[in-house]
Every structure is written in C-alpha cells, then in structure tokens.
Amino acid sequence: MARPKSPCISVCRFDGRTGWCVGCGRTLPECKDWKTDTPFRLSRIERDLPRRLKALSQRGIAVGEDAEVEA
C-alpha cells in the first residue's frame, strides 16, 4: 500500500474543542506521526478528514482554504 501524501495545506490552527486542524482536519499527534505511521492507519485518517472538516464548518468555523483567509 502506497503512503498517502500529507493533506497539510499550511494553515495549522487547531480547534480547541475537537483538537482538529482547521486546515486539514488532523489532530496534532496525527500530524506529528504522519511520516512514521503505517500506510493503513494514514488511509483511515485520510478517509475521516472530510467528515471532520464538515463538522467544524457546521459549527461556523472556516476550514480548508477558507481558514487561510481568516487567519
């Protein structure tokens, strides 16, 4: 299984309630471990990121490219 490319978009601000990055949706530990985690675990995380970003957006938090503008 190929290693997924990092979803980081260089926004790197974390929501205090969930711990998710408003740029990519990962937690700080997931960001730190991205280069050493197994490809299987990375794909599981990657599949969950759209749900996380949608949940943040539904709370009125700017996410993804929109979060970059708000910085």
Query: What tens digit of pLDDT does each residue of 24-54 get?
Result: 999 999 999 999 999 999 999 999 999 999 9
Nearest Cα to Cα of residue 70 among 25, 22, 28: 22
Contact 13, 71 (CB under 8 A): yes
Separation in Å, CA 71 to CA 33, 37, 42, 47, 62 = 25, 29, 27, 26, 10
- Please report whether residue 40 resides in a domain: yes
Domain that holds residue 32: 8-71
Residue 35 placed within a domain: yes
Query: What is the rounded CA–CA span in Å between residue 7 and residue 10?
Result: 9
| Structure tokens that stand for 45 in this block | 């995380």
Number of domains comprising the chain: 1
Average pLDDT, the chain: 93
